Structure 1
Amino acid sequence: MLFELIAAVVAGVAVAGLAMGMRWLSRGLLPKWIVPAAAGLGMLSYAIWSEYSWFTRLTETQPEGVVVAWHNEESSFWRPWSYYKPVVTRFTAVDMRSVQRHPNLPDQVMVDVILAARWQRAARVKVVFDCAGGRRADLVGANVSVADDGSIVGATWTALPADDPVLAVACKQS
């Protein structure tokens, strides 16, 4: 977040410098207020660009095999431009390279799910999806384990809607 602030200030100074140059070239015909207005416009433009591009910048750097299953778009009054085009604030991805199936339970798949949100560190969670039963179990906590027969012990299963996008990606046969 500190780098974003520094980048916004640098953008403001750069655009203000251009405005100062234009004012000098016009021999003072442009009004004085154009310099701080240009600085503000430069910082605002950078902030808007950064908000809209973070999702693309982050997903493009993911390794092959990481599939974005879901993303959340949001509009808010402090970002009035987001009513025209909502901003992606968080997403869920499935690391298909981590797919594991137990031969005794072929309808269940264990994968790493990546939870990412703007201004937060991404979290990686091991999750087991029951593709036939339409449910999932998060493998978090000290009491959760996988038994020798492949069954999950100590986890709470959560029912998912049939159209859940993360379930669809995780259960997709490769």
Structure 2
Amino acid sequence: MSAFVIDAFEFSRLKERREGDVPVASMARLAAETVNTSASLHWSLQGGSDTLNHPQLIMSVSGSVELMCQRCMTPLKFAIESESILILAKDEERADEIDALLADDTIDVIVGSKALNVMELIEDEALLALPLAPKHDVCPNNAALNDLMVTKKPSPFDVLKGMKQ
């Protein structure tokens, strides 16, 4: 994955905005989770500050990837639509203070840097959006599964009752 590095604090201060597309194949960790790496994700990054004047980044990632359905083991299209608010802190100690002050689970506090790799941020955002166990709502070829569910095994109690007679 080619690096796209920004000074996170300067990016936020100047309220810069960048966006683009990145191939799934160029993100090793995400590619390992997918069955087809030909897709790409659209991303945008907006700098600014929150109501308490903390520098922040708003990261959004969208696109469609193919995952393996854990029920029928066939490909499953999954739409990624994710947006995160990232408050920037100078160090871990300050990050913990800001996190406690905000007490908001919808906002992430991260340690910013003068060399923040945006591509890693995009990949992290996409990975966090994936389900732990992807499954179709209704599997496309589940005839075998349906046969197993329809075929009723005799109750062990019915078998015992038959033996008693």
The answer, yes or no, to whether TM exceeds 0.5 is no
- The alignment's TM-score, normalised by the length of structure 2, stands at 0.29
- The alignment's TM-score, normalised by the length of structure 1, stands at 0.28
Q: Which has the higher contact order (CA 8 A, sep 6+)?
A: 2
